[in-house]
Amino acid sequence: MAKGDNQAKRQNGVFYTPRELAVHLIGPLATNPLPETIMDPACGGGSLLSAAKEVFCRSNPEYSPEFFGCDLSPDRGSLRQLPAKHIWKGDFLELRLSQRFDLVLMNPPFVRHHGIPPEAKEAYNARVRRVCALPKVADLWAYFLVKSVEAVNTGGTLAAILPWSFLQADYARELRAWLADRFAAIDVTAISSQQFEDAEERIALIWLRNKGRSAQTITVRNVTHPSEDLPQRHLSWPEWVRSRVIISNMGSIDDILLSFLDKGFVQFREVAEIRIGTVTGADSFFIAPRRFAIELGLSEGNYHPIVKTLKGLSGFQLNGHCPDCVLMYLPGQPQSAAVLQYIEQGQSKGLHLRAHCIRRSLWYMLPRVTSPDAFFPYRSSHTPYLVLNTPRNLCTNSVHAINWRKLDRWQIEWVQVSLLSAPGQLSLEANAKIYGQGVLKIEPNALASALVTSGMKKPLPEGSYEKINGLLETNNRDAASEVATDVIRSYFGIDPQTMEMCKSMLRELRQRRLASEVMKGVTSEH
Ligand SMILES: C[S@@+](CC[C@H](N)C(=O)[O-])C[C@H]1O[C@@H](n2cnc3c(N)ncnc32)[C@H](O)[C@@H]1O
């Protein structure tokens, strides 16, 4: 396929459902009474409609429902079984629905919100607002979902293939609550392996049954492959509407985490303040190698070392590490020709018009920022941990800036060790989001609700901090986390079963996150 074709395919989210996956979506719906009208709002080549015919005819060979499909560019060749008047060519979100259907099947286009042209987004928003308002950051699938719910008959069913953002995007939380008000039964199967050849996006199969009543049951199942026969877990309402829907096949993650709160753990927000690192508006202009700042004639007070990433660093302390890059504080009234020329160069590139720059009285004059006490990675694929900022460097916004809330040295060490231990890591794993290639994206809120302890104002058992640090310095994160877990368990008298359960859940969640074959080239900030 030509490169341009591939690009157009991605722009319109054209990824046809493989037959096997379509059968997994439709199989559970082969119960009587079978639907009389079936519609796919983004039918493409009709994979879902053909699979519905195949699966339903197996249970009733006489079965002959009416099929309908809509698509921007329907593949008529494959849709031969449909009467032409049942295929609508055009934008589903602009389509005036003249009827409703017993079953709506869909694998909508997974187009990200910034890929939707602004005028189209405004029009879509205006159309769905009456039913369910969506924020600007909602991806295209969310609009399809809202409109498709409208297209389902009372008592009818909607079955969909959706991206994982359905389970973890901030805006999806309200959407999930909205669905639970409208369907009596909700079942989700989250699949952790890649299902579409050219798309890394992980997917979930969603079944919404019996429209017109609020949810009596909500279940979630996690599998690596759709054919795996793992048990479902029933979710409570709070679990369904939390920022990320996450379950363990071993039991309730919330119950395990709560048991640590009972033992004296607290949320990270109680011991530290999390700030976003320095936002310059134009990093390539304001951040440069130290030697560049010197060549520009800036005095030492006008530049400050800045950490752009924690990648490649190891150990609990930044100590001897001196980042090569500095943040440059350009003077308001530059005296030197070199600085003036540099500012002009920036202006000629239009940097002065960038969002953050335009708000400053002098676009190139950065406000002074204070250096944080510690750093924590924003993105990580493997056992993220806190690094003390002993040399008082700054950080960019790809690293969290942490300031302690009046902790003494012992307490800080306890916080570092406990966040590295199994309960700390499980709480991070449960709250953070998962993005491409299984990388954890730890947003400030996820870190703020991670579980830690500041100990009991007593130092850690002698030598344990040094031992854990030594393991981190040699990049042995698993072993460091294991020692940290043991320290926490014996010091707080946590029963071995609870700790084992915590470790097993952590292993399960990590394995699931890293399950995809696309993990081969995993990248991480830390
Ligand atoms: C992920 S594919 C799924 C196709 C088919 N349902 C399947 O499962 O194989 C999404 C389809 O949505 C279509 N599409 C994209 N934007 C659309 C829109 N605004 N209205 C209708 N169809 C659209 C694309 O042409 C593509 O065929």
Angle formed by the axes of helices 118-129 and 140-150, nearest 10°: 30
Q: Both 209 and 276 in a single domain?
A: no
Q: Both 182 and 319 in a single domain?
A: no
Q: What is the pLDDT of residues 28-79, one digit of tens each?
A: 999 989 999 999 999 999 999 999 999 999 988 888 899 999 999 988 776 7
Assigned domain for 389 exists: yes
Mutate to test the pocket of ligand 1, among 12, 48, 95, 205 (most ligand atoms within 8 A of CB): 12
Q: What is the pLDDT of residues 202-259, one digit of tens each?
A: 899 999 999 999 999 999 999 988 988 888 899 999 889 988 898 898 888 999 999 9
As a whole number of angstroms, the distance between CA 338 and CA 451 comes to 50
Mutate to test the pocket of ligand 1, among 21, 40, 43 (most ligand atoms within 8 A of CB): 43
- Asked whether 51 lines ligand 1 (CB < 6 A), one says no
- How many residues are there in the chain? 526
As a whole number of angstroms, the distance between CA 393 and CA 326 comes to 9
Which residue has the least CA distance to atom 16 on ligand 1?
Answer: 12
Do β-strands 439-441 and 379-380 pair in parallel, antiparallel, or remain unpaired? antiparallel
- 71 C-alpha to center of ligand 1: Å? 6
Predicted local confidence at residue 413, as pLDDT: 96
Q: Both 189 and 237 in a single domain?
A: yes
pLDDT-derived band of residue 523, with 50, 70 and 90 as boundaries?
very low
Assigned domain for 337 exists: no
- Asked whether 139 lines ligand 1 (CB < 6 A), one says no
Which residue has the least CA distance to atom 11 on ligand 1?
Answer: 42
Predicted local confidence at residue 7, as pLDDT: 72
- 330 C-alpha to center of ligand 1: Å? 51
pLDDT-derived band of residue 522, with 50, 70 and 90 as boundaries?
very low
How distant, in Å, are the alpha carbons of 100, 179, 236 from that of 213? 17, 10, 17
Assigned domain for 130 exists: yes
Among candidate residues 181, 151, 187, 190, the one with its CA nearest the CA of residue 35: 151
- 103 C-alpha to center of ligand 1: Å? 17
Which residue has the least CA distance to atom 1 on ligand 1?
Answer: 15
Assigned domain for 258 exists: no
Predicted local confidence at residue 517, as pLDDT: 43
3-state helix, strand, coil in the chain (%, to 5): 40, 20, 40
Query: Which residues, in sequence order, are bridge partners of residue 191?
Result: 203, 223
pLDDT-derived band of residue 526, with 50, 70 and 90 as boundaries?
low
- Which percentage of the chain shows pLDDT scores above 70? 96
For residue 44, give the ligand 1 atom closest to its CA: 27
Q: Both 274 and 226 in a single domain?
A: no
**R_g of the chain, CA atoms, integer Å:** 27
Assigned domain for 285 exists: no
Q: Check which CATH number belongs to the domain holding 169 and give it.
A: 3.40.50.150
Q: Both 275 and 241 in a single domain?
A: no
Q: Both 316 and 240 in a single domain?
A: no
- 327 C-alpha to center of ligand 1: Å? 46
Predicted local confidence at residue 5, as pLDDT: 66
Q: Both 206 and 274 in a single domain?
A: no
- Asked whether 519 lines ligand 1 (CB < 6 A), one says no
As a whole number of angstroms, the distance between CA 26 and CA 161 comes to 11
- 101 C-alpha to center of ligand 1: Å? 18
Average pLDDT, the chain: 91
Q: Both 214 and 274 in a single domain?
A: no
Examine the pLDDT at 430 and tell me if it is beyond 80. Answer: yes
Domain count, the chain: 2
Examine the pLDDT at 262 and tell me if it is beyond 60. Answer: yes
Q: Both 214 and 81 in a single domain?
A: yes
Last residue of a domain, one of 199, 230, 245: 245
Domain that holds residue 460: 270-280+311-323+370-521
- Asked whether 109 lines ligand 1 (CB < 6 A), one says yes
Examine the pLDDT at 342 and tell me if it is beyond 80. Answer: yes
As a whole number of angstroms, the distance between CA 328 and CA 519 comes to 37
Residue with tokens 């993105």: 379
- Asked whether 157 lines ligand 1 (CB < 6 A), one says no
Residue with tokens 């004639």: 297
Assigned domain for 295 exists: no
Sheet holding 272-276, edge to edge: 272-276, 399-404, 374-377, 387-388
pLDDT-derived band of residue 177, with 50, 70 and 90 as boundaries?
very high
Q: Both 81 and 187 in a single domain?
A: yes
Lowest mean pLDDT among 24-38, 126-140, 361-375, 479-493: 126-140
- 114 C-alpha to center of ligand 1: Å? 18
Predicted local confidence at residue 525, as pLDDT: 53
Assigned domain for 432 exists: yes
Q: What is the pLDDT of residues 284-341, one digit of tens each?
A: 999 999 999 999 999 999 999 999 999 888 999 987 666 789 999 999 888 899 999 9
- Asked whether 48 lines ligand 1 (CB < 6 A), one says yes
- Asked whether 17 lines ligand 1 (CB < 6 A), one says yes
Q: Both 505 and 394 in a single domain?
A: yes
Examine the pLDDT at 516 and tell me if it is beyond 60. Answer: no
Section 415-427 average pLDDT: 98
Examine the pLDDT at 157 and tell me if it is beyond 90. Answer: yes
- 313 C-alpha to center of ligand 1: Å? 44
Q: Both 14 and 78 in a single domain?
A: yes
For residue 69, give the ligand 1 atom closest to its CA: 6
- Asked whether 413 lines ligand 1 (CB < 6 A), one says no
Assigned domain for 144 exists: yes
Predicted local confidence at residue 49, as pLDDT: 94
As a whole number of angstroms, the distance between CA 89 and CA 140 comes to 18
Examine the pLDDT at 518 and tell me if it is beyond 60. Answer: no
- Asked whether 25 lines ligand 1 (CB < 6 A), one says no
